[in-house]
Chain A
Amino acid sequence: DAEITQSPRHKITETGRQVTLACHQTWNHNNMFWYRQDLGHGLRLIHYSYGVQDTNKGEVSDGYSVSRSNTEDLPLTLESAASSQTSVYFCASKRGLGTEAFFGQGTRLTVV
């Protein structure tokens, strides 16, 4: 069955370190998204991509970057981790307009 997987599921890192969260989907979806979820804020869009070599900034993109070198993967990089980036991160993919978004299980990141 097609799926979307995130790794790692949990990570603790130190302030200032570079961290990369992986997202891999096997649906061959063009659209992929990264969100962070915090209490009181819901899901906030960090970056998104509509296809290979395409990346776009979301509402909370500062301190984060993504790259899309193939259809299946959209890794999220925290250039220099900060305590404010402690959160649960969700990756999602969808085929196109009006279609269902499928979410990964989430990555709980703690920056100490």
Chain B
Amino acid sequence: TQLLEQSPQFLSIQEGENLTVYCNSSSVFSSLQWYRQEPGEGPVLLVTVVTGGEVKKLKRLTFQFGDARKDSSLHITAAQPGDTGLYLCAGEGSQGNLIFGKGTKLSVKP
């Protein structure tokens, strides 16, 4: 069974601070995706990383895929209250099924 360990589970920070969320596994994934979920809604895709060592940037968010394609990180620079939400990493198996981590609930206070 493929498992994704996501940390931290909860994060409460002040506006302007930086943060990093980690997603680790003992399994190799075809790709790794990061989603963000608002209360009462389904998750929405932020980014997909496919190649080992790949780095992608989305405004103040930086995503990195580990060289061995087993782990990933999400770094947010100068967090804003609008970044508040549940961040989920998902590893994609060889046939396209998605396995999710438990999520990181981020709260950014003004």
Q: List A residues at the B interface (Cβ < 8 Å).
A: 31, 33, 35, 40-45, 48, 50, 56, 58-59, 90, 92, 94, 96-106
- A40-B102, A59-B1, A97-B31 in contact; A106/B42 too (CB < 8 A)? yes
Size of interface on B: residues with Cβ below 8 Å to A:
26
Question: Is B30 positioned at the interface, with any CB of A under 8 Å from its CB?
Answer: yes
Q: Decide if A96 touches B96 in the complex (CB within 8 Å).
A: yes
Q: Say which residue of A35, A97, A104, A106 sits within 8 Å of B96 (CB atoms).
A: A97
Q: List B residues at the A interface (Cβ < 8 Å).
A: 1, 6, 30-31, 33, 35, 40-45, 48, 50, 88, 90, 92, 95-103
Residues of A within 8 A of B40 (CB): 105-106
> What 6 A-B pairs have minimum CB-CB distances, sorted nearest first?
A103-B42, A42-B102, A43-B100, A100-B45, A42-B103, A98-B31
Q: Complex: how many Å from CA A56 to CA B98?
A: 13
Q: Say which residue of B33, B50, B101 sits within 8 Å of A101 (CB atoms).
A: B33
Q: Complex: how many Å from CA A22 to CA B88?
A: 24
Q: Complex: how many Å from CA A43 to CA B103?
A: 8
Most buried by B among A31, A43, A90, A106: A43
Q: Decide if A48 touches B43 in the complex (CB within 8 Å).
A: no
Closest CB in chain B relative to A47 CB, distance in Å: 10
Q: Complex: how many Å from CA A98 to CA B47?
A: 10
Q: Say which residue of B6, B42, B44, B96 sits within 8 Å of A94 (CB atoms).
A: B96
Not counting A56-B97, A90-B42, A100-B48, a sample of 6 additional A-B residue pairs whose C-beta atoms are within 8 angstroms of each other reads A43-B88, A43-B90, A43-B103, A45-B99, A97-B92, A103-B42
Q: Decide if A50 touches B88 in the complex (CB within 8 Å).
A: no
Q: Decide if B42 touches A98 in the complex (CB within 8 Å).
A: no
